[in-house]
Structure 1
Amino acid sequence: MAQRSGSADLPLHHGRVPAWLGQRMARLGAVMAEAIVHHYGREEFLRRLAHPFWFQSFGAVMGMDWHSSGITTSVLGALKRGLNPMAGELGLHVCGGRGRHSRQTPAELVAIGDRIGIDGTALSRVSRLVAKVDSAAVQDGFDLYLHGFVVTDDGQWTVVQQGMNDATHVARRYHWLSEGLESFVDAPHAAIEGRGQGNIVNLADRRAAPARQAQLSLLEEFGPDRLAREVAVLERKPVVAAEPLLPHLNLPHHHDVRPDDVILRRLHGALAAAAERGPQDFAELLLVPGVGARTVKSLALVAEVIHGAPCRFADPARFSLAHGGKDRHPYPVPIKVYDKTIAVLKDAVSQAKLGNDEKIGAIQRLDAQARRLERDARGPSFQAFMAEERQRSHEYGGRSVFGEEPPTEILPVPRTVA
């Protein structure tokens, strides 16, 4: 039986992803998905998408606003653009999206089913059912506006959909996973993101089975008109049943990345691994022109998103330190570094397809080294790390929605050790 895996608050953000970032997100998201499928299989990629902490970290490492609701739209859009052209090779198909695109999902699934030989009509029914459950059976104050459906050639699937509450300026993301799913109305969610917003009517909870049956019986016995009159004079006194505590990711409303948002020892582990493994595994082994120390630092964080265990993603803000953010938080997107990261990964995945796993193995070793070193690694304070990134932003091709980052006066960078 699929279970909830966690929850989080997602501040509502408006605006668009600029084309220069959206194109790169599609390329980076696709090649990271290829790497995951190569190492762990398509089903594991679906499990990752169904994990709310990993999903947020995945979006953050791609340069999207690390804490905002916009990650959901931008990640699903990037995967749709990046993976669908490779669907014949990877066996992954991304449908749906925001607004009118969400309503096209059933038709997209039928077309995919006709093309690859799976039951697209049944999948389209799944799409409608999960949307109904999260909009009608789970009445939590959030209006659905986004529905993404990722399906494999084997008919396995993940659904990610999101609703908004304009009154509280908070979004809630719902994750579904076909693996282990036995019922659409009895605790079906793999995860729901979002802190409770008062009393919630959740008729999809397994504990609500008596309530669902009672509603049907009352409707049959009394009819809708009499029920409406009776309900109008009743005082609602909800009973809250005990529920196991789940991990909660509380994404703050502040835009900037602060020291408390990052597990610093893990950042230091990644920096130490980049310094130690970089000269051996990257400058000499990968032989991608122009790969330097800064690119290896980004690759260390990307490698963790590809290979890290679920417990590694409690601080998605840390992954924004790979490629910054479009709104200059934590700093402008370092375009030159971003492009080198994509080039290294594409080269490694291409070689792996030909049977040469040495380069893609180097990325995996980088992640393993970071985890080994983080217990004892020391490095710059968070403030010093951020100061250096901002000072060198122009050198790295820094860019944001406000334009290209101009050169700044080079000031001494504090080297205090945290």
Structure 2
Amino acid sequence: MTKAGSADLPLHYGRVPTWLAERMARLGRAVTETVVMDYGTAGFLQRLSDPFWFQSLGCVMGMDWHSSGITTSVMGALKRAINPLSGELGLHVCGGRGKYSRQTPDELRLLGDKTGLDGERLTTASRLTAKVDNTAIQDGFQLYLHNFIVARTGEWAVVQQGMNTGIRTARRYHWHSPTLRSFVEEPHTAIYGPNRGPILNLTAAGAAPTRDAILSVALTGLPPAELSRAAHEAALRANPAAPREAATAHMLPHLTMPAHHDVRSKDIDIKRLGAVLALAHEKQPMNFESLLLLEGVGPRTLQALTLVSEVIHGTPSRFSDPARFSFAHGGKDGHPFPVPLDVYDETLHQLERAVTRAKLGRDDSARAIKALSTISATLEKDWIEQDRVQEWIGHERATSYLHGGMTVTGPARLPPQLQLF
């Protein structure tokens, strides 16, 4: 059982603007196609079930780096991107937010009819994952989003999210079928949300006696009021420490996504980011074949491509600081800086070109992009750590107008010294 961790997700509201949603879908498609070509559908589902990778993908897409909105927007973008190519990719995304989550069973049955997969078995899995996270784990978060992603092999992953309006926080849950031993005993690859102290977690391994005690009482046919009291007493007799203290013994490591909107030094692995910026902006020896193959790519696009390359090809340990990936395409709320649309479009052009050439058996561009993450990691070993995060952010904001910078409030403004009025 892989324990991937948990994190705070501050609740954000609002819609993703069309100019970003369209680009997110294109980037999601290019990333998915590349991962599937290089690592198969199993590799894609494994990444999707890693909450740190998922958050990093949302950051590189230009979403608000720490918000709950990443879940909704990333899954929406992937559904729009993947489903039209499901026959080619061998992947299909079902469900969504609100009313779309309730359509998941119908979508899975229809998918089963088209592909020969066992639609009823998949529907049962979908319902059980939702039931567990809404009922068996009573942590104060009410589910409002459920996405079921299935491969032609029958392997699947679930990404679902609940909200707690009282503390203005969301919690994201990740499931992955290859790691699943039981729906009722520690089934998750990760629970992505805040540690708010002891919770009622009937899926904890230590809560097995409690589950059995509650089931035995439930079969007695007592009226609801008496049943609740009797079940509680039986649970305490079965294990005085369960189910609440059992949950704390199985707490996952968690990454806390802070409430502050601005990206700060403490949110980033400075050494990793510094190596990326050094590769993109400082004069490098031109014996790097990858840089020569990426003809016509400017420094700013190279910065974005390197971070996208790491999302596609990086190992799990590289995603412990998702905020770093917001230095690819900024964020729609202007943090750490406005989304540079010209850079985003050039990134898309390079990735889509690489995918097309790879399908034709010409994988030189794909290999060049893949190598960027390796080169960056190599430079990182010798990069002297310097906390220049605010300087880097200041430079991005000052030059944002040169790259078509955009936020939800409109185009990036000229620096004060260049404003005429």
TM-score normalised to structure 2 length: 0.92
Q: Any idea what the Cα deviations from partners look like across 1:347-376, whole Å, max 9, x if unmatched?
A: 111111111121111111110011111122
In the alignment of these two chains, the number of paired residues is 408
1:232–1:301 CA distance, 2 compared to 1 (3 A):
closer
* One-letter amino acid of the counterpart of residue 134, structure 1: D
Cα drift, residue 405 of structure 1 = 1.2
Residue in structure 1 matched with residue 146 of structure 2 by the alignment: 147
* One-letter amino acid of the counterpart of residue 227, structure 2: L
Q: Any idea what the Cα deviations from partners look like across 1:299-338, whole Å, max 9, x if unmatched?
A: 1111111111111111111000110000001110000000
Cα drift, residue 247 of structure 1 = 3.0
Query: Structure 1 vs Structure 2: percent identity of aligned residues?
Result: 53
Which blocks of at least 5 consecutive residues in structure 2 are unaligned?
A: none
Residue in structure 2 matched with residue 416 of structure 1 by the alignment: none
Residue in structure 2 matched with residue 375 of structure 1 by the alignment: 381
How do 1:254-273 and structure 2 match up within 5 A?
254-273=260-279
1:299–1:346 CA distance, 2 compared to 1 (3 A):
same
* One-letter amino acid of the counterpart of residue 324, structure 1: G
How do 1:49-64 and structure 2 match up within 5 A?
49-64=48-63
Superposition CA RMSD, Å? 2.2
How do 1:179-258 and structure 2 match up within 5 A?
179-221=178-220, 223-225=222-224, 226-228=226-228, 230=230, 239=242, 240-241=245-246, 243=249, 246-258=252-264
Q: Are the aligned partners of 2:191 and 2:252 in contact in 1 as well (CA < 8 Å)?
A: no
Q: Are the aligned partners of 2:210 and 2:235 in contact in 1 as well (CA < 8 Å)?
A: no
Query: Secondary structure at the residue paired with 2:145?
Result: strand
Cα drift, residue 124 of structure 1 = 1.1
1:200–1:42 CA distance, 2 compared to 1 (3 A):
same
Cα drift, residue 3 of structure 1 = 3.9
* One-letter amino acid of the counterpart of residue 219, structure 1: A
How do 1:96-175 and structure 2 match up within 5 A?
96-175=95-174
Residue in structure 2 matched with residue 329 of structure 1 by the alignment: 335
Q: How many angstroms apart in 2 are the aligned matches of 1:202 and 1:47?
A: 24
Q: Are the aligned partners of 1:96 and 1:105 in contact in 2 as well (CA < 8 Å)?
A: yes
2:360 is the alignment partner of 1:361:
no
Q: How many angstroms apart in 1 are the aligned matches of 2:219 and 2:252?
A: 38
Q: How many angstroms apart in 1 are the aligned matches of 2:101 and 2:332?
A: 25
* One-letter amino acid of the counterpart of residue 330, structure 1: P
Residue in structure 2 matched with residue 403 of structure 1 by the alignment: 410
1:183–1:406 CA distance, 2 compared to 1 (3 A):
same
Q: How many angstroms apart in 2 are the aligned matches of 1:86 and 1:233?
A: 53
Cα drift, residue 404 of structure 1 = 0.9
Residue in structure 2 matched with residue 351 of structure 1 by the alignment: 357
TM-score normalised to structure 1 length: 0.92
Q: Any idea what the Cα deviations from partners look like across 1:188-244, whole Å, max 9, x if unmatched?
A: 111101123233111122222211111121222362343345579999875514635
Q: How many angstroms apart in 1 are the aligned matches of 2:148 and 2:286?
A: 38
Residue in structure 1 matched with residue 24 of structure 2 by the alignment: 25
Cα drift, residue 62 of structure 1 = 0.3
Query: Secondary structure at the residue paired with 1:38?
Result: helix
Farther off after superposition, 213-222 or 125-134: 213-222
Residue in structure 2 matched with residue 292 of structure 1 by the alignment: 298
Q: Any idea what the Cα deviations from partners look like across 1:73-97, whole Å, max 9, x if unmatched?
A: 0000000011111111111101111
Cα drift, residue 409 of structure 1 = 4.2
Q: How many angstroms apart in 1 are the aligned matches of 2:223 and 2:47?
A: 43
Cα drift, residue 273 of structure 1 = 2.7
* One-letter amino acid of the counterpart of residue 105, structure 2: P
Residue in structure 2 matched with residue 36 of structure 1 by the alignment: 35
Q: How many angstroms apart in 2 are the aligned matches of 1:356 and 1:234?
A: 66
Q: How many angstroms apart in 2 are the aligned matches of 1:53 and 1:229?
A: 40
Q: Any idea what the Cα deviations from partners look like across 1:269-317, whole Å, max 9, x if unmatched?
A: 1122335388955664244x5x311000111111111111111111111
Q: Are the aligned partners of 2:213 and 2:234 in contact in 1 as well (CA < 8 Å)?
A: no
Query: Secondary structure at the residue paired with 1:269?
Result: helix
Query: Secondary structure at the residue paired with 1:22?
Result: helix
Residue in structure 2 matched with residue 386 of structure 1 by the alignment: 393
Q: How many angstroms apart in 2 are the aligned matches of 1:73 and 1:310?
A: 22
Q: How many angstroms apart in 2 are the aligned matches of 1:129 and 1:15?
A: 30
* One-letter amino acid of the counterpart of residue 16, structure 2: V
- Deviating 4+ runs (over 4 angstroms): 229-239, 277-284
